[in-house]
Chain A
Amino acid sequence: MTRLAFSAMLAAGVSLAALGQTAFADDTLLIGAAISKTGWDAPYDSPVMDGLMLAIDEMNANGGIAGKFPVEIETRDNRSDNAQNAIVTQELVDEGVNMMIVTCDSSMVHAGAQIIVGAQIPAISTCSSSPTLPLSGDGYIFANAVTDNVQGAAQAEYAFGQGYRKAYLLRSPDIEYSQMPLYFADAFKKLGGEVVGESLYSLGQPDFSAEVTKIKELQPQPDVIVTSAFEPDFPAFIRQLRGAGVTVPLVAGDGIDSPTTFALGDAVEGVVFTSSGFAEPGSPMAAYQEKYEAKYGKPPESIMDALGYDLAKIIEAAVTQADSVEPAKIRDALANLENVQGATAEISYKGGNGTPTRPVAVIRIEDGKRVLVSRKAPDPAIVPAPNLDLNAAQ
């Protein structure tokens, strides 16, 4: 017996023993989760996993998916490190997982993508909104959240609809997500808007006074400022911007949906952001949030955990459709899913090349609370194509 096979058997044996179940290994859906439990990416993966476990526990209480495929999760910490992510991805593949859940940060997933493609195992990212991730996943890696290009288009539709014509961008070339304003610019120009300037920042930049002073000097002032900055950059920026007396409306991405944002008081009054969902009274999202609060004893902090519930529902639908836990069958079923009811929305993958089709919620912050502005998919004609080299496109 090879050492590899032995250790795989050992691992399988240990995890089965830990569960104390006598399930037939053949019918068990073994999901390998290569996620960040520590490091800078952990705040994004951990709430998604909370929402996911809530759904998985529900399913296992009913005998597993479709009453016959119990679900088991094998989690490995990639420590928010690209190289470590490739290692844990390989480990999980070697353990013979049926499918994978991969981390929120797209660059880390890119680092393990070729292992997943080579092993032909379907994988879904916890909360990555990267539209390019499914491209490098070659049909095996799927996104879950509303992708950056779709959010950018929804922001453009909203901004143009408000009568804004001159936009100013604040973006960081450091990671893919913080480049979302470039997708906005693309869609905004298609609608007839104009980008009058931009500022660049570095992730974790402690001070935005230089950028704010630049914006304040602009004559005439832009109609709208667009950014996908997130914590801790977003609070620092918006505080300094409003503190300097600049009252230009601001449109942001889903990354600002965090308790810190809502604790900023007057500084964020009127800020508008795009999101994967909104808890309207009586909606599946509101029902989900009640379940969450019952299980964890506190209300959800953001939409991230609901995305985890979505993820579990997508897996459930794919395995039910495939009626099998074979990776190839799950992949095919997943790629053709239509109208799966998750916590945040109805989600489809058919024809999306790995990106989900789901409505975008446009949310305004009023008196420190979320107020729904609109909830629809943006016009496909203005949604920019995924772009692997955003900077070069400028």
Chain B
Amino acid sequence: MAYFLAQSGNALSLGGIYALLALGLAVVYSILGLINFAHGALMTLAGYVLVFAAVLGLPFYLSAPLAILVVMASAVLLERIAFRPVRGASGATMLLTSFAVAVLLQLAFQLFISTRPQVVPLPDFLTATVDLGSFAIGVNRVISVVVAVVVLIALNLFLKRTVLGLAMRAAADDFNVTRLMGIRANRVIATAFALSGLLAAVAAVLWIAQRSSVDPMMGLVPVLKAFIATTLGGLGSLLGAVLGGLLLGAIEIYLAAYLPDAALPFHGAITLGVVILVLVVRPQGLVGASRELGK
């Protein structure tokens, strides 16, 4: 029982960071129908900002907000440069564009910074662990869960209580009619990208707290996990993204904990098998509606 509880704690904390990652993808998807694979590259960028800020001697309470600002601005810039020209094009075009942006950024990091991982100095409290008797849990993981929940509530308030939020929900429901009502499309979309940039930067800090370094390829794994989580939860649904993240974390941890040794080499395949099974039963994902923002 203690073992099960310990592993459940692990599942919750891994799920928390997946939820945060998935939220970043879902915010943009719910408006534009675009899975932004460059989200991972934005996380990597946040890591490099932290590295350079440390070189300049900035303390963490300054470098973290700086990273968040730079990444938010970059996300908005990316939308302006790469995604606006293909707005309204087919889903495949937008998907390929986001892949292209991700690859270009990754190559830029390799060529202009370094192929070698760079150490990211983070304050001790982020890398510490809390002892809960039978098991210990990383502080960064507790923060992930809390931040995911806070962000979810804040986003909901923002979407329901502000004019811009109302515009975003309307845009998610019917973009053309929203524009006819006099809402400026560019502002709505830029806001969505800025929000996803904010989430990418926060997730990056927590992700790096785990691995201690940033390299040009760092964003690949998280964006993939986020994609699986959003699909699992229901594409376009914010609540679904969070639930999908938590479920994916749980699947991964329980399989690693309870699979017999002989089956462990197939851990990744079995994880995806379970995900596919969920999608066979619920093709629209856990939280069915793909129009959560509009409702």
The CA-CA distance from A232 to B153 in the complex, in Å, is 32
The CA-CA distance from A217 to B3 in the complex, in Å, is 8
Q: Are B257 and A260 in contact (CB under 8 A)?
A: no
- A43: chain B residues at CB < 8 Å are 115-117, 215
Give the contacting residue for A210; candidates B138, B257, B261, B265; CB below 8 A: B257
**Does residue A259 face the partner (Cβ distance < 8 Å to B)?**
yes
B164-202: which residues lie under 8 A (CB-CB) from chain A? none
Q: Are B265 and A232 in contact (CB under 8 A)?
A: no
**Does residue A299 face the partner (Cβ distance < 8 Å to B)?**
no
Give the contacting residue for B253; candidates A38, A42, A46, A209; CB below 8 A: A209
Q: Are A46 and B212 in contact (CB under 8 A)?
A: no
Question: How far does the Cβ of B258 sit from chain A's closest Cβ, in whole Å?
Answer: 9
Given A38-B107, A42-B110, A200-B267, A244–B10 Cβ distance below 8 Å?
no
Q: Smallest CB-CB separation from B6: which chain A residue? A: A213
Give the contacting residue for A263; candidates B119, B210, B221; CB below 8 A: B119
Q: Are B257 and A301 in contact (CB under 8 A)?
A: no
Question: How far does the Cβ of B216 sit from chain A's closest Cβ, in whole Å?
Answer: 8
**Does residue A202 face the partner (Cβ distance < 8 Å to B)?**
yes
Q: Are A210 and B7 in contact (CB under 8 A)?
A: yes
The CA-CA distance from A245 to B3 in the complex, in Å, is 15
Question: How far does the Cβ of B114 sit from chain A's closest Cβ, in whole Å?
Answer: 8
**Which of A7-15, A234-242, A269-277, A306-314 sits within the interface?**
A234-242
- B110: chain A residues at CB < 8 Å are 38, 42
The CA-CA distance from A202 to B224 in the complex, in Å, is 14
Q: Are B135 and A236 in contact (CB under 8 A)?
A: no
B219-269: which residues lie under 8 A (CB-CB) from chain A? 220-222, 225, 252-253, 256-257, 261, 264-265, 267-268
**Does residue A40 face the partner (Cβ distance < 8 Å to B)?**
yes
Give the contacting residue for B207; candidates A206, A243, A264; CB below 8 A: A206
A200-238: which residues lie under 8 A (CB-CB) from chain B? 200, 202, 204, 206-207, 209-211, 213-214, 216-217, 231-232, 235-236
- B127: chain A residues at CB < 8 Å are 239
Q: Smallest CB-CB separation from B257: which chain A residue? A: A210
Q: Are B117 and A258 in contact (CB under 8 A)?
A: yes
Q: Are B257 and A264 in contact (CB under 8 A)?
A: no
A323-370: which residues lie under 8 A (CB-CB) from chain B? none
Binding site secondary structure of chain B: helix
The CA-CA distance from A391 to B265 in the complex, in Å, is 10
The CA-CA distance from A204 to B222 in the complex, in Å, is 10
**Does residue A67 face the partner (Cβ distance < 8 Å to B)?**
no
Q: Are B212 and A260 in contact (CB under 8 A)?
A: yes
- B217: chain A residues at CB < 8 Å are 39-40
**Does residue A134 face the partner (Cβ distance < 8 Å to B)?**
no
**Does residue B121 face the partner (Cβ distance < 8 Å to A)?**
yes
**Does residue A181 face the partner (Cβ distance < 8 Å to B)?**
no
Q: Are A207 and B14 in contact (CB under 8 A)?
A: yes
Q: Smallest CB-CB separation from A233: which chain B residue? A: B211
Q: Are A244 and B135 in contact (CB under 8 A)?
A: yes
Give the contacting residue for B268; candidates A199, A202, A210; CB below 8 A: A202
Q: Are A207 and B212 in contact (CB under 8 A)?
A: no
Question: How far does the Cβ of B206 sit from chain A's closest Cβ, in whole Å?
Answer: 10
Q: Are A244 and B129 in contact (CB under 8 A)?
A: yes
Give the contacting residue for B222; candidates A47, A206, A210, A235; CB below 8 A: A206
- B210: chain A residues at CB < 8 Å are 206-207, 235-236, 239
- A391: chain B residues at CB < 8 Å are 265
A242-263: which residues lie under 8 A (CB-CB) from chain B? 243-245, 258-260, 263
Question: How far does the Cβ of A84 sit from chain B's closest Cβ, in whole Å?
Answer: 14
Q: Are B265 and A173 in contact (CB under 8 A)?
A: yes
- A40: chain B residues at CB < 8 Å are 217
Q: Are A209 and B212 in contact (CB under 8 A)?
A: no
Proximity bits, B119-156, A CB within 8 Å = 1, else 0: 10100000111010001111000000000000000000
The CA-CA distance from A216 to B265 in the complex, in Å, is 21
Q: Are B135 and A213 in contact (CB under 8 A)?
A: yes
The CA-CA distance from A171 to B217 in the complex, in Å, is 22
**Does residue B44 face the partner (Cβ distance < 8 Å to A)?**
no
Q: Smallest CB-CB separation from A204: which chain B residue? A: B221
Question: How far does the Cβ of A390 sit from chain B's closest Cβ, in whole Å?
Answer: 12
Q: Are A200 and B138 in contact (CB under 8 A)?
A: no
Q: Smallest CB-CB separation from B264: which chain A residue? A: A200
Question: How far does the Cβ of A178 sit from chain B's closest Cβ, in whole Å?
Answer: 12
Q: List 11 A-B contacts (CB under 8 A).
A: A42-B110, A200-B264, A202-B268, A204-B220, A206-B14, A206-B210, A207-B14, A207-B253, A214-B257, A231-B215, A263-B119
> Which 4 A-B pairs rank lowest in CB-CB distance, beginning with the nearest?
A243-B129, A210-B256, A209-B10, A42-B115
Question: Apart from A232-B218, A235-B210, what are 18 other A-B pairs with CB-CB below 8 Å?
Answer: A38-B115, A43-B116, A206-B207, A206-B222, A207-B14, A209-B10, A209-B14, A210-B10, A210-B252, A213-B3, A214-B257, A236-B212, A239-B138, A239-B212, A244-B136, A259-B119, A260-B213, A391-B265
